[in-house]
């Protein structure tokens, strides 16, 4: 992991295309934002040593303990302090370590951060970014492997993001830090080491889906780490003569309904794929909306409604795989 210097994770100037991991890109995004705006502070556990995934590497050394704040192990205290900081004029970045631990801070997120602007007529803005690493993390079992994007999509007052690439890790975090509403920024734990190009001069269009490939036979919508599984599945389908569109939502709320509906209406079939539990997952919202607006065939693929097992064999039972996506796509085409 490269330390953050005056130019960012890999030492290049902003705007230059660099190869970074998702963790390096996120650290660079935060470094660039903190350098530009002294109101931005970060608080959470283990930030002083760079975060458990390296996503804060070098920031404490550069900005000091007053702006990169190591906290006690109390998620409700961390989130509550961040809400107060935001109302006092700062722009806090709140590290929850893993999304599962945010369950200890739900009152502060749901009843304080999300509702303050509405309840007080816009007199206050809780412009914080809550970073909740989601998803399977090999051998981490039931309390460290969950994906809760549907919970927060259901919550009025927050923006919900799920980056899938190093470029997203940089641009979406920068966009989140520039906003005036609370943002739930859900970064997948198994993507931290993934490498890719990052243009630090690029800007994210939050609320806009990205079409990764356009096909004629069906539309597959996905997000976060599942994007890479679906891309591989689309390649396998293409080898068998099935041409699939792949759309990465990126922003879970507000999601790009227009883009998804337009592509699904063109192909006549929609498959929504996510790592989270399928029952009441956000895929249900996408599928229902597309069915209501286009009348096309819809299907979903997600995890079974069981806890994630510690043993590798049990974890594999809930892990999204290429062949599972291929089977689901083939099934909807046969209907």
What does the domain layout of the chain look like in residue ranges? 17-199, 210-334
Q: Tell which residue, 324, 272, 325, has the closest CA to residue 297.
A: 272
What are the tens digits of pLDDT across the range 268-311?
999 999 999 999 999 999 999 999 999 999 999 999 999 999 99
pLDDT tens column, 300-321: 999 999 999 999 999 999 999 9
For the beta carbon of residue 295, count every other beta carbon within 10 angstroms: 11
Active-site residue, from 7, 144, 188, 274: 144
User: For 68, left (φ over 0), alpha (ψ -120 to 50), or beta?
Assistant: beta
| pLDDT tens, position by position, 95-126 | 999 999 999 999 999 999 999 999 999 999 99
The answer to whether residue 176 scores a pLDDT higher than 90 is yes
Q: What is the pLDDT of residues 38-82, one digit of tens each?
A: 999 999 999 999 999 999 999 999 999 999 999 999 999 999 999
Kindly report the average pLDDT of the chain as a whole number: 94
CATH topology of 17-199 equal to that of 210-334? yes
Tokens 């209907």 — which residue? 335
The yes-or-no answer on residue 228 being catalytic is no
Distances, alpha carbon 280 to alpha carbons 56, 151, 272, 304, 332, in Å: 33, 9, 13, 11, 20
What CATH class has 210-334?
Answer: alpha beta
CATH match of 17-199 with 3.40.50.970: yes
How far is it, in rounded angstroms, from Cα 202 to Cα 55? Answer: 20
């Amino acid at each position: 992991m490269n330390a953050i210097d005056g130019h960012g994770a890999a030492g290049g100037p902003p705007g230059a295309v660099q190869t970074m991991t998702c963790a390096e890109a996120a650290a660079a995004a935060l470094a660039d934002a903190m350098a530009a705006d002294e109101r931005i502070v970060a608080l959470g556990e283990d930030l002083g040593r760079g975060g458990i995934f390296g996503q804060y590497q070098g920031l404490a050394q550069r900005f000091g303990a007053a702006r990169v704040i190591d906290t006690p192990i109390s998620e409700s205290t961390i989130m509550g302090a961040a809400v107060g900081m935001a109302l006092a004029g700062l722009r806090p970045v709140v590290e929850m370590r893993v999304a599962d631990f945010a369950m200890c801070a739900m009152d502060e997120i749901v009843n304080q951060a999300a509702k303050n602007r509405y309840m007080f007529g816009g007199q206050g803005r809780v412009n914080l970014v809550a970073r909740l690493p989601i998803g399977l993390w090999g051998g981490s079992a039931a309390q460290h492997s969950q994906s809760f994007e549907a919970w927060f999509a259901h919550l009025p007052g927050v923006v919900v993001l799920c980056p899938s690439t190093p470029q997203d890790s940089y641009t979406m975090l920068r966009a989140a830090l520039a906003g005036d509403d609370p943002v739930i920024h859900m970064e997948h734990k198994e993507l931290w080491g993934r490498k890719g190009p990052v243009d630090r001069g690029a800007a994210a269009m939050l609320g806009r889906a990205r079409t990764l490939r356009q096909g004629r036979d069906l539309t597959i919508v996905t997000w976060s780490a599942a994007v890479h599984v679906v891309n591989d599945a689309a390649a396998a389908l293409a080898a068998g003569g099935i041409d699939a569109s792949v759309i990465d939502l990126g922003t879970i709320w507000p999601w790009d309904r227009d883009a998804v509906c337009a592509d699904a209406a063109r192909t006549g079939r929609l498959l929504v794929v996510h790592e989270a539990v399928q029952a009441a997952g956000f895929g249900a919202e996408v599928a229902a909306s597309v069915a209501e607006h286009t009348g096309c065939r819809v299907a979903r693929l997600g995890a079974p409604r069981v806890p994630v097992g510690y043993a590798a064999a049990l974890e594999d039972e809930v892990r999204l795989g290429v062949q599972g996506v291929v089977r689901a796509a083939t099934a909807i085409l046969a209907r």
